[in-house]
Every structure is written in C-alpha cells, then in structure tokens.
Amino acid sequence: MGNDVRVRFAPSPTGHLHIGGARSALFNYLFAKSQGGKFILRIEDTDQARNVDQAKEKLLDSLKWLGMEWDESIDVGGEYGPYSCMERVGLYEGYIQQLLESGKAYYCYMTEEELEAEREAQKARGEMPRYSGRDRDLTEEQRNAYEAKGLKPVVRFRVPEGQVIKIDDAVRGEVTFESDGIGDFVIARKDGIPMYNFAVVIDDHLMKISHVIRGEEHLSNTPRQVLLYQAFGWDVPHFAHASLILNPDRQKMSKRDESIIQFVEQYKELGYLPEALVNFLSLLGWSPVGEEEIFSMKELGEQFTLERVSKAPAVFDTDKLAWMNNQYVQKAELDTVVNLALPHLVKAGRLPEDMTAEEKDWASKLIGLYQEQLQYGAEIVELTELFFKTEIEYNEEAQTVLDEEQVPEVLGQFLQELEAVEEFNTASIKAAMKATQKATGQKGKKLFMPIRVATTGQIHGRDLADSIELLGKGVVTARLQLLLNN
C-alpha cells in the first residue's frame, strides 16, 4: 500500500480526549506506521453549539503526550488544508449546490415542532421514527410560500429507495443496510453549515483518505456516507470499525460512568506514563502475535494489522492498566518517576512547593524507595503516609509483635546503638542492627520485626534500613524511647 495509505483522526473539539477517541487515533497512527502511510489530524468543529474553548489545543496536547506525530494538521499544515471544518465552509457550499441541482438533495422547511409531532405519531403507530419526506417534491410555488413565512430550510439528501448498501468492513466483514430504513437525512443546517456526515465525506475525499478506521459507534453513520460517495461518483474508502470498549462490569461506557477514568488528561494528571497508556490502549480490541504484552510504540507500529483487530467488545480492565503502568515505572529512570510522583506529595501538603536541595534529595530517595511497587504517581501519597506522621498508632497485629518477651531488650539495644551513630545513613543503621543482633542473640523475625513495627508502625514494608534513614534519627529514637518508657 505504501504512500497510497492516508488515514485520519477527526475529533470534535467538545472536551477532553476520551480514551475511546485516543484508541481510534492510535489505531490510525499505528496502521499508517505499519504501511508507510500518512496520518492526518483533522478537527470536526461544525457543531458550533457543542464546541468548547481551548478544546482543540487540549486534544493536540493529549495526543502529543501519548507520543503520536501527524503528517498534516491545523498546526503543521499540509497540501490538503485547511484542517478544521469551519475553515472549509465555503468549500462545502459548492458540493451542496451540486446535489441540489442534480435533484439528489432538496430544501426542507419543516419546523422542529412539526418534526417532533411527526416522530411522536410514528412511535404511536409502532413505527421507527424517521423523516417522512414531506418536502421531498415541493413545487417552486410551495417553496416561495414557505419563504414568505420567513421559514429557513435545511438541506436534506434524497436517499434512494429500495437499495441495499453493502460495506466491506476490514474488521466486521460484509455489513448490509437497507436504504428504506434510513430516511432522507440533513446535510446542511439552516445557517448553511454542513452536518458531520456530509462534511466528513467531502473532507475524506478531498484529502485522499484511503482507510477510515474508527469505533463501532460510527458504523450507523457509514451507510449515509457511502450513499454520499455514490451520489458524487467517488471511490469509497476502506472502512474498519473497531469494537466497543466496555467498562470493568462489561457494560457499555457512558461519559457519566464513574467506574472508570475516561479522559487521557486525567491519566496524565494521576501520574501514568504515556508509554504504558499507549501499550494498554493498543491491546483494547487488537491482539499481537504471541504472548508478549509489553510493546514500545515502534514495536506496535511494526506489528499492527487490521486483520488482528477483534469484533468482540474490549473490556477496560483498570487493574491491568495499573499493572502495566507499574511495569513501565519499575524500568523508568528515577528522575522520571520523581516527576510523576513529587507533584502529588506537594499537592497533598506533604512537601513544600519550594524545596531546598536537601529536601529534594530526601523526596527523591523516598519516591525511589517505592518505585518498585508504585502503580501511578498519585499513589505515592498513600504509600508514604508513615513518613509524614508525628505519632503512630499500633494496630492489634503490630501490638502482638511488640508484646513479645524479647522486644524490650531488642529495642533498648537498638536505641543505644542508634544514639551512638554519628552519620545516620543506611550503612550505619544496618551496622546498628547487626550490633543489636550480636548483643541480644536475637535474629530473623525476632530481631527485625520488632524494629520495623516500633519505627514504622507496619508489619510489612519497604527496605527497613532505607525506611529508618528516611524517617530520620530524631523521629526513630523518639519512637523507640516512647515505647520503652510505656
């Protein structure tokens, strides 16, 4: 296919980038990479009422954060621009006029109230609501009468009757639709701005889009678009509709669904790594060859094929995403992990915004201590809670450890050894533990468990000597003294 492959992602600037949209963008991007083709980013902003300020910029930022690069768009230009629909409105007018003059489209003057009454009457008769075709064949006299009333028309496409529309979908196989079930649909609003289904066909044709890869929710739009291609006598692109993404309960997601975080920007804010999110999204409805699950963007681009995109719905497994992100966090440079986690400690009030070099060094060591188990940046606040407590409460399990008969001797000796330490660091703390073992004859759990519980309040945790160093000599000795005096 090579240079003939041109794909696009065309989001509407109505809010943040949704994970479903991000997956569609990713599949297009990976397909372009695998075929040596071009990836185009276009903004579908014809629905002016729903457009949100700064949404375009946020969409681009989220896609860049994920690591996608485009060959043509509103920011880099290209020979088929402009790349936002509202800058192409003048261009659409000629094509609308072409359909009107050929009788393949017509003006419709029905009001919203009339259309609603028509729909309600159809529902009452048990029929599927659709436009009846009242204004299909208006005479010039009838049109003039409507105009005289001040009514502004929409433009409707005249859907051919009795036609079977066949779509050879790269994912779903052959899909057929009956034209009689569609009804004449609006292609331009009363203000002349085209509807999505019309604008997308014109843009895809003029931008030489070869493959339209998108989510299953767009499948119902496809017959309307195919009819428009046929009306203009244009070649129809190859279609591929990826499966729905279900929530963890295997239910169709809605934007009000609180069981799942749904926007890319939220994952960025929570401290996920973009490489991990890309890896995870790529496996929602696409399967690689073999059992491997961890892939770089480059490896995904080399492997991706439409043949391995599944028809079956994909389940967004939040636990799997957390596991996958942890795999990337473990292998990341410490500076990267610090950048993910540190803002959350600051936001939680655990650390100041303006830190000294000493405070930054301490924070880096603390985050490094938890790098192996950290699933995402924001988790650091809960994981490191013990380091920001002035006092600790010992739960029942911890108290059971502290009640063992050897504990006073172990803690007393360990306190004595720590108080003699001049440079309080991991090495000197380990030496103090070893000296305590030698002096008391206690070892293993009998030695280390009381020290861990007494200093951290926890039965289990990260490396004990590292934890004690980060708690600081003053905090640790005060805790030991308090326990020994009780």
217: nearest Cα among 247, 243, 191:
243
- Helix, strand, coil share (%) of the chain residues, nearest 5: 50, 10, 40
Alpha-carbon gap, residue 55 to 418, rounded angstroms:
57
Whether residue 347 lies in the annotated active site: no
How far are the Cα atoms of 131, 134, 135, 162, 186 from residue 108, in angstroms, in the given order?
Answer: 10, 8, 5, 22, 9
Task: Classify 7 as helix, strand or coil.
Answer: strand
Catalytic residue, chosen from 252, 255, 365, 473, is 255
C-alpha to C-alpha distance for 348 and 354, rounded to whole angstroms: 14
* Residues in contact with 327: Cβ distance below 8 Å, sequence separation at least 6, in sequence order: 276, 294
Contact at 8 Å (CB) between 454 and 402? yes
- Cα–Cα dist 463/369, whole Å: 8
**In this structure, what are the phi and psi dihedrals at residue 276, rounded to the nearest 5 degrees?**
-70, -40
**Measured between alpha carbons, how far is 474 from 196 in angstroms, rounded to an integer?**
66
Question: Which amino acids are annotated catalytic?
Answer: 255
